[in-house]
Amino acid sequence: MDPWNEESPPNLRFLRRGAEGRQRFRRGVYLLPSLFTLGNMFCGYACVVYALRGDYGTAAPFIGFAIVLDMLDGRIARLTGSASAFGLEFDSLADVISFGIAPAILVFAWGLAPLGRIGWAAGFLYLTGAAMRLARFNIQSASGGDKRYFVGLPSPAAAALPAATVFAFPLGITDYRQALPTLALMIVPALLMVSTVRFRSFKQIDLQARRPYTILFLFALALVLITVHPRYVLLAAAYAYLVSPFVGMLSARIKKRRS
């Protein structure tokens, strides 16, 4: 007897409804990571809108929100087993907007506009580096590799540098000479994104660590510091991650010489 027929006995109709419910649940699971990706893309768009309006103190935090959402969508997809080819491509396109276009426009409107063509050329260089970094990441993810490290500066971390800087100093720059150092906010991350310098990855953090209380305490301490002094704590964290591989290489050389 066909359980999908409405004239079938109640127990068979119950099996049919159960199968339909499981199918709807699976669709919801596949949709959930994409909703976080959509939120990531919206944050990048909102950053551009506020930057064009000259509200840099409001525009910069949207990149931080995008970074958090970008971290969540991938982790949720892995935990729920809902990773898909569509999700991967959708995430990459959203990252180009939030971590490529948005930081470039933010920094150009904030401090590169007085430099004219040099300013928008530096912004385009950054955008190119972000797009290439994302394309290389997709290729490396498909081929495997060491999950503990990123080859090249990750695009979210690169976007955190200009976002944290603008958030800490939200007043725009109008003088040509003062705008010259701002070029480093675009050029340095662009070069590091296409480099082969290895940056530590936090995707492999064990959520079932042996000392969960220590991790919870450190996380609470970080939240307190960000709440008390958000501008300078986020600025210090962004630049600390930038210099971390170079500090590690210098420390390894010193240990090698001593040994």
> What's the gap between Cα 88 and its chain centre?
14
Tell me which range, 136-140, 142-146, 156-160, 204-208, is most confidently predicted by mean pLDDT.
156-160
* pLDDT, tens digit (0-9, with 9 covering 90-100), for 53-100: 999 999 999 999 999 999 888 778 777 776 777 878 888 899 999 999
The model's pTM is 0.82
CB atoms within 10 A of CB 72: 16
Amino acid at 142: A
Q: Which residue has the higher pLDDT, 148 or 20?
A: 148
Which fold is adopted by the domain 10-258? Four Helix Bundle (Hemerythrin (Met), subunit A) (1.20.120)
Q: Which two tokens stand for residue 217?
A: 């305490």
pLDDT at 6 exceeding the cut of 80: no
Q: Is the confidence at residue 206, as pLDDT, over 70?
A: no
The residue type at 22: R
DSSP calls for 107-168: HIIIIIGGGTHHHHHHHHHHHHHHHHHHHHHHHHHHH---TTEEES--HHHHHHHHHHHHHH
